[in-house]
Amino acid sequence: MKGVCIQLGFGALFGAVLARSGAADFDAMERMFLLEDFHLLTLGFATVASAALGLFLLRRSPWASGVSMPSRPIQRGSIVGGLVFGLGWGLSGTCPGTALVQLGSGQVVALVTIIGILIGNWSYARLGIDRLGASTDGCR
């Protein structure tokens, strides 16, 4: 139970940061996609850079024993999935994380995006694994 509370706490903190940064604002997403405002693009690049630095430092630390990051080849399904994800993000103006932040901040329209995410995941699990050439072992 303690672990779940810690995870919920970090999730709430992450959601608050996303909301405060403007990442859950549809208009900000629209300006990003139209290349009118680079605030969210800069935020995304900073996030990737800090994660890369953190992983680099973790792999060289004494705590890295047992941490493995095997390389995986790019699969055809990953490309198709990325295109579908990008299309959904462009149409809805939000991604899965920010859709939950939008819902938590009272934007009920985010339910449409969340239902689309659930339908997409269900469709992939039931219909698309073999056709897309994706691995059936998920993130293992």
Q: Which helix (H) or strand (E) holds 121?
A: helix 110-123
Tell me whether residue 140 is in a domain.
no
The Cβ of residue 104 has, within 10 Å, a number of other Cβ atoms equal to 16
Q: What is the pTM of this model?
A: 0.67
Query: How much is the pLDDT for 94?
Result: 86
Tell me whether residue 95 is in a domain.
yes
The residue segments making up the domain with residue 26 are 2-37+70-132
- Total domains in the fold of the chain: 1
Query: How much is the pLDDT for 95?
Result: 83
Q: Which parts of the chain sit beneath pLDDT 50?
A: 139-140
Residue by residue, DSSP assigns 35-89 as: TS--HHHHHHHHHHHHHHHHHHHHHTSGGGTT------PPPHHHHHHHHHHHHHH
Query: How much is the pLDDT for 140?
Result: 46
Query: How much is the pLDDT for 136?
Result: 54
Tell me whether residue 56 is in a domain.
no
Query: How much is the pLDDT for 133?
Result: 58
Query: How much is the pLDDT for 59?
Result: 83
Tell me whether residue 110 is in a domain.
yes
